[in-house]
């Protein structure tokens, strides 16, 4: 099992350019998440998808859109990149709280480093 995979690993954009970050999981998880990680700020939730067909805003959704393409894939789109979006982006997945498990562990991908000039 590959777990959670993300592409690309690294990207440089100019202000105003658009791009899509891809995420896929092979654990048959229901829930998927996009976080950004900045120094001193910890992980902040951008968007999440509790189950296939649903998406909801997290703590910092402005400037981003998401698509839950199917159960495996959850993409994050920056329509017009800004320097403030320079960050490391992590995708994560979990079984989902409705699975009945108490622990509800989130599994993270390796991250995408994004630099916006």
Partner 1 sequence: QKEVEQDPGPLSVPEGAIVSLNCTYSNSAFQYFMWYRQYSRKGPELLMYTYSSGNKEDGRFTAQVDKSSKYISLFIRDSQPSDSATYLCAMRKTSYDKVIFGPGTSLSVIP
Using CB under 8 A as the criterion, which residues of the chain lie in contact with partner 1 when the complex forms?
A: 4, 40-45, 48, 58-59, 90, 92, 97, 101-111
What is the DSSP secondary structure assignment for residue 109, as one 8-state letter? Answer: -
What is the DSSP secondary structure assignment for residue 104, as one 8-state letter? Answer: -
Minimum distance from CB of 113 to partner 1 (Å)?
A: 8
Minimum distance from CB of 58 to partner 1 (Å)?
A: 7
Minimum distance from CB of 107 to partner 1 (Å)?
A: 8
- In angstroms, the Cα distances linking 81 to 75, 85, 86, 88, 115 are 16, 7, 9, 14, 10
- 14 or 53: CB nearest partner 1: 53
């Amino acid at each position: 099992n590959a777990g959670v995979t993300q592409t690309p690993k690294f990207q440089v954009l100019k202000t105003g350019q658009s791009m899509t970050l891809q995420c896929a999981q092979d654990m048959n998880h229901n829930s998927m998440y996009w976080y950004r990680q900045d120094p001193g700020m910890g992980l902040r939730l951008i968007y999440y998808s509790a189950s296939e067909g649903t998406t909801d805003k997290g703590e910092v959704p402005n400037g981003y859109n998401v698509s839950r393409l199917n159960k495996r894939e959850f993409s994050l789109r920056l329509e017009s990149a800004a320097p403030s979006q320079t960050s490391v982006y992590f995708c994560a997945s979990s079984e989902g709280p409705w699975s009945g498990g108490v622990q509800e562990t989130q599994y993270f991908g390796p991250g995408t480093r994004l630099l916006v000039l």
